[in-house]
Amino acid sequence: MAAEALKSDFGGKAHIALNDPKLRANFRRAMDGLMTKRAAQFADADEWNALRARGAAVRARALAQLPELLERLEARCQANGIQVHWAETTAEANAIVLGILQAAGAKRVIKGKSMVTEEMHLNAHLEAHGIAAVESDLGEYIIQLAGEAPSHIVMPCIHKNKVEIAELFADKIEGQAYTENVDELTAAARKALRGRFADADAGISGVNFAVAETGTLVLIENEGNGRLSTTLPPLHIAVTGIEKVLEKLEDVPPLLSLLPRSATGQPITTYVNMITSPRKAGEKDGPKAVHLVLLDNGRSRVYGDSELSDTLRCIRCAACMNHCPVYTRVGGHTYTFTYPGPIGKILTPQLEGLDCAGDQPHASTLCRACADVCPVQIPIPDLLVRLRTEAVHPSATAGVKGGGSAQSLSESLGWRGYTAMYGSPLIYRVVTRLMGLFGNWVPASAPMLKQWTSVRTKPKFAAKSLHQLAREKGFSHD
Ligand code: SF4
């Protein structure tokens, strides 16, 4: 399905997820483990605070000069032999990738993990044009077999337990016997994928950081599938959002120190790939051609707002979702779009529009757990509140897509009445008296209360207000 056709239904999906004990148990177990591992990595508060301040500064410096750095990145990449393409929309990016593959006569593609290609729905686009794309990251491979979307940006199949994976493999992998042994399941996936690497006409990957100074594409991973995808096939296409650019090579280490520790509680990933050119004369491996596709898809609009542009600092570590009391209970599929959890709640409404995903900024308790663990200090709760406001009162300067789409005459009248009530002691007394007399007659199923009372008990109005009681006791001054 095309991304444009999607509309968020957070409330409806959350109800379903909350009534799925298996899903909740899978998430609870996984999230508890990730939180414990991350906490162990950042046990030294001084080190954590200094490192995240540095990480935030590196990303803020890059974003402050984003247009110039993107031009420098393009020039450097081209000088290194990497062909650079610009895509304003996901449709353009899909067309560019398809065009490169068709020009090369590619029919089989092996893919490394890439959330941007999920955002593009690239696999479906390629399949519709006769090109088979196989995911090589174990988690992505599992959900591709299951025909599902990722439920987490780092661990895409975290919603499944080993029994579900064992059943899936026995059903979908030819000759695979049912086993719940994790090593055997991993070996089965490895065996099924090995041949795909060798057969692939092209590899497609994401990019963690693109360094403008040197034209280097940094790609981190644990399974070696990213390295195989980007070196074994004769053609490599890297796809990334325009915000992933860094100014200098020396900006990479602090972010590499933050990203895996925040994501999986590892000091560093098993593989850190740094791709700076296609295969050079005399080299024994590497692709003969490398392409870099830079996707905008609404990021320029986000960049144009001085407050909301903090969203673009994100390094996709997923720590915010691992610690979010909402995400950890309802899981990633509840968010409909590619990016779930707190980062999704600020990014998706900006990319897709508040008219499509305007309920997502409300799917938060504003507890600030996300902001506390974000390694690049994105003030997520503040941006959630800002987006809630934009949905009702779009600011003149901001260009948030779908701004004002939640404007409602009844809500606006309700707030005016509320203001009037609290602005006049007389009106306040009359209204509270009427509520005390008649409020309990209003059923919980009344249209204006229905949604609220679907998950809460309607409070009972007291027969007498606090003011009345105080007056009767002789405490009132009026
Ligand atoms: S918002 Fe922060 S914590 Fe969340 S994924 Fe991005 S960098 Fe990580």
**Dist. CA 69–CA 348, nearest whole Å:** 25
* Signed CA dihedral, 354, 367, 342, 63: sign only: positive
Q: Could you read off the pLDDT of 108-155 as tens digits, one per residue? A: 999 999 999 999 999 999 999 999 999 999 999 999 999 999 999 999
Q: Which residues contact 473 (CB under 8 A, 6 or more apart)?
A: none
Q: State the distance from the centre of ligand 1 to the C-alpha of 316, rounded, in angstroms.
A: 5
Rg of the chain's alpha carbons, rounded to an integer?
A: 26
Mutate to test the pocket of ligand 1, among 41, 316, 346, 348 (most ligand atoms within 8 A of CB): 316
| Test site for ligand 1: of 256, 335, 347, 378, most ligand atoms within 8 A of the Cβ | 378
pLDDT digits (tens, 9 = 90+) for 152-187: 999 999 999 999 999 999 999 999 999 999 999 999
pLDDT at 410: 84
1: burial class by Cβ within 10 Å (0-12, 13-18, 19+)?
Answer: exposed
CA nearest neighbour of 315 among 398, 259, 370:
259
Domain boundaries, the chain: 22-29+59-300, 409-472
Please report, to the nearest 10 degrees, the dihedral formed by the alpha carbons of residues 142, 147, 152, 153 taken in order.
90
Nearest ligand 1 atom to alpha carbon 342: 4
Return mean pLDDT, the chain.
94
User: What are the structure tokens assigned to 137, written together?
Assistant: 């990251």
Q: Give me the pLDDT at residue 354, please.
A: 96
Query: In this structure, are residues 42 and 261 in contact, taking their beta carbons and an 8 Å threshold?
Result: yes
Atom number of ligand 1 nearest to Cα 318: 5
Q: What pLDDT is attached to residue 1?
A: 41
Nearest to 366 by CA among 347, 345, 393: 345
Nearest CA to ligand 1 atom 3: 374
In this structure, the residue with its CA closest to atom 7 of ligand 1 is 314
* Test site for ligand 1: of 262, 383, 384, most ligand atoms within 8 A of the Cβ: 262
Tell me how far the alpha carbon of residue 311 lies from the centroid of ligand 1, in angstroms.
Answer: 9
In this structure, which residue's CA is closest to atom 2 in ligand 1? 374
- pLDDT for residue 5: 65
Token duo for residue 477? 């001054």
**Interstrand relation of 209-211 and 216-221 (parallel, antiparallel or unpaired):** antiparallel
Q: Ligand 1 pocket: which of 320, 335, 372 to mutate (most atoms <8 Å of CB)?
A: 320
Angle at 59 between CA 374 and CA 63, to 5 degrees: 130
Q: Which residue's CA is minimally distant from atom 6 of ligand 1?
A: 314
Looking at ligand 1, which residue's alpha carbon is closest to its atom 4? 320
**Contact, 178 vs 170, CB < 8 A?**
yes
pLDDT at 412: 86
Contacts of 310 (CB under 8 A, 6+ apart): 378, 379, 383
Sign of the alpha-carbon dihedral angle for 96, 101, 105, 107: negative
Q: Output the pTM of the full model.
A: 0.91
Which residue has 């195989």 as its token pair?
228
- Residue 109: the pLDDT is 98
Residue 370 Cα: closest atom of ligand 1 = 3
The ligand 1 site (C-beta within 6 Å) comprises 314-320, 342-343, 373-376, 378
Closest-CA residue, ligand 1 atom 8, reads: 317
Contacts of residue 258, defined as CB under 8 A and 6 or more positions apart, other chains included, come to: 51, 52, 55, 315, 317, 375, 376
CA-nearest of 161, 92, 82 to 120 is 92
Distance of CA 467 to the CA centre of its chain: 48
Cβ neighbours for 260, distance < 8 A, ≥ 6 positions apart: 220, 266, 267, 268, 269
Distance 369 CA to ligand 1 centre (A): 11
If one compares 450 and 145, the residue with the highest pLDDT of the two is 145
Instruction: Using pLDDT thresholds of 50, 70 and 90, give the confidence band for residue 477.
Output: low
Judged by average pLDDT, the poorest of 73-77, 332-336, 358-362, 431-435 is: 431-435
Non-local (6+) Cβ contacts of 353 within 8 A are: 401, 402, 405
Q: Which residue has the tokens 């099924």?
A: 192
Q: Give pLDDT tens digits for 236-268.
A: 999 999 999 999 999 999 999 999 999 999 999
Q: How many residues does the chain have?
A: 478
Average the pLDDT over each of 1-15, 78-92, 318-332 and give the range with the smallest value: 1-15
Topology of domain 22-29+59-300, per CATH?
Answer: Rossmann fold (3.40.50)
Residue that is written with structure tokens 């998430």 in the block? 27
Q: Candidates 153, 376, 383: which one to mutate for ligand 1, based on the most atoms within 8 Å of Cβ?
A: 376
State the chain's maximal CA–CA distance in angstroms. Answer: 96
SS3 assignment, position 425:
helix
Pairing mode of beta strands 235-241, 202-205: parallel
Nearest ligand 1 atom to the CA of 341 is 4
